[in-house]
Amino acid sequence: MTLGTTYDPNNIFAKIIRGEMPAIKVFEDQDALAFMDIFPQSRGHTLVIPKKAGATNFLDADPADLSVLIGKVRRVAEGVVAALGPDGVRIMQFNGTPAGQTVFHLHFHIIPVFENEPVKRHAGEKADIAELEALAEKIRAALA
């Protein structure tokens, strides 16, 4: 898919928002949902998505919606850092297939970076669900 793709209301993130697909949630309010990436690039890799459907990527999004969402991204990133103590953190966002986007619902990646631990490739190896649950619990506690 390229930029300008029509939003598909049956994408996996839309299904997660509607409760049709499971997710390991760490944060949710009326505007955003944050959950563990099941194909993490590092320990604690978290996704933040708007609950409002319609934007496939950053360039499709209403600037007013983005201004609300970026505050949620920051809050979740602070929780990830507080919970896991990484040496750095990447905040990433992909737009279009050639840029690495695999789900066409606007989303941000929060990727903790730990010295001496390589970051895995994007959308690579599926994580152990029990490990994701344990990490999510730490992040939820830091966000409380």
122 is catalytic: no
Count helices and strands (H / E) in the chain.
3, 5
User: Which residue in 45, 105, 107, 109 is the catalytic one?
Assistant: 107
Helix ranges, 85-128 (H) = none
* Whether 109 contacts 37, CB under 8 Å: yes
Structure tokens at 100: 């690495």
* Whether 54 contacts 60, CB under 8 Å: yes
Q: Are strands 88-92 and 46-50 parallel, antiparallel or unpaired?
A: unpaired
Return the active site residues: 107
